[in-house]
Amino acid sequence: MGIDIGTSACKVSLFDADGDVIAQSAKQYKVYYPAPGHAEQDPREWWEAVCLAVKETIRASGIDARQIAGIGVDGQSWSAIPVDRHGNVLDNTPIWMDTRAESVCSEVLDRIGFDRIFNICGNPFEPTYTTPKILWYKSQKRDVYNNTYKFLQSNSYIVYKLTGKMTQDLSQGYGLHFFNMKSGEWDVKLSEELDIPLEKLPDIFMCHDVVGEVTQQAAEECGLHAGIPVVAGGLDAACGTLGAGVAWPGQTQEQGGQAGGMSICQDKAAAHPKLILSHHVVPGLWLFQGGTVGGGSLNWFRRELGAWEEAQEKAMSINAFQIMDNEAAEIQPGSDGVIFLPYMAGERSPIWDKNAKGVFYGLDYSKTRAHMIRAVLEGCAYALHHNLCTAQEAGAAVNELVSIGGAANSRLWTQIKADVTGKVIKVSGSDTATTLGAAILAGVGTGVYRDFNEAVFRTVSIARIHEPDMNAHSRYREYYKVYLKLYDQLKDLFTESGAIQ
């Protein structure tokens, strides 16, 4: 069983040993925005959703829960879940989009310095990471901080609810800046400089380590069987990377979802100050990542401006996203000069600008909604290309990508990404790559698979391949220059308007 704690919903999938889906379910929950820069969720709502989805999955599968060999859990990055000694959640957790800790970052960088931190963890000290959020609790919610026994990640909270064990997996360590990226251990001296005692963090485990078994209480709440082994699990992007078959150096995964981006598999901890570096869930490997926020832009467009497509979906039983694809396909590459900056929640790598905003540029009376739809698809592809180009600065060469996530279901969007980047894009045969990756961890940890090589070869397939149209790529190269220049000329204005808000 694979359990995925995403931003908008949890997903639960049951697989056979060949990676085929037996049954699956998804349950949604809310993101709360209580103040400017705040984006948080209630982990207790994650657990409620997990219990419902697990019960529904088991019921749909028709199997006996005792047949489940093991459970793997993956989750969104950069949580800071404060729990007491009994595992009670003391406050909502800021999630990966949350930027409330900006002033904390400024103070720490002035006091300790960028290089000191970056040389240990290989990541920039940005407010979206876990470390600044813990320090924010310390300065702004002192009672919560003082009563916190451990700060947990999204997957480790669900692992705790299943097993009663508090853990920290290797792949999620990158959210904490006193995590030594090369050694995979806490750096005692830097934790002291940051004034975060290591006692507030759990012990670190390999992602496929069995850390406990489903308790009787969890079994009753979820419809599971007590005693099922549970592994530590890992970062959703890393599990999705594994589930796409990216488990060897030089391979690259691309994902399109609320949190989009790319993950380049490496056999060394090579870092870039504008990108993200984490351990892979596969031992001895690292992921050089670019993380964007624009993947939800199309969903936003559908919700706010897609009333016609929504009506057509109800009347004709055609998916509204497919209708939008069909509209966008009628527009030429480059959207006749309409360019979209997909910074709908600020932006992560490589610009790291919480004030950045979504922008449509190039509108005139000749433009249609179809132009805007295609511009949204292209804007997200430009954001991907921006990260790939930045990775090349650090010597990370990429020849082809393996695509996962909801956006991979769109042939048009995937082709646009191939044309913008000039790279071959392969689409994973599984529409559930992230939960498959989590399940593979459980399979390796419990001995269902001999090793990760066997697991990948047995479970992962490629459904289709997109070759780049180099004529379209030439056109996109020119529009990409405009895309970069737009942000460069607007970034000061983003800051000014943010101050007014």
Q: What is the pLDDT of residues 431-455, one digit of tens each?
A: 899 999 999 999 999 999 999 999 9
**What tokens does 73 get?**
């859990």
pLDDT band at 308 (very low <50, low <70, confident <90, very high): very high
For β-strands 185-186 and 93-94, DSSP reports them as unpaired
pLDDT at residue 368 greater than cutoff 80? yes
Under CATH, what is the fold of the domain 2-232?
Answer: Nucleotidyltransferase; domain 5 (3.30.420)
For β-strands 72-75 and 234-235, DSSP reports them as parallel
Of 34-48, 84-98, 166-180, 399-413, give the lowest mean pLDDT range: 399-413
Alpha carbon distance 429, 231 (integer Å) = 25
H or E element in which residue 266 lies:
strand 260-266
Domain boundary assignment for the chain: 2-232, 245-296+333-501
List the Cα angle 299/414/478 in 5-degree steps. Answer: 95
Which pTM does this prediction carry? 0.90
CATH class of the domain at 245-296+333-501:
alpha beta
Determine how many CB atoms are found less than 10 A away from the CB of residue 250.
Answer: 14
Alpha carbon distance 27, 493 (integer Å) = 39
Task: Identify the pLDDT of residue 258.
Answer: 62
> Tens of pLDDT along 241-271?
999 999 999 899 998 766 678 999 999 998 9
Determine how many CB atoms are found less than 10 A away from the CB of residue 478.
Answer: 10
Tell me, yes or no, if the two domains 2-232 and 245-296+333-501 fold the same way: yes
> Tens of pLDDT along 311-342?
999 999 899 999 999 999 999 999 999 999 99
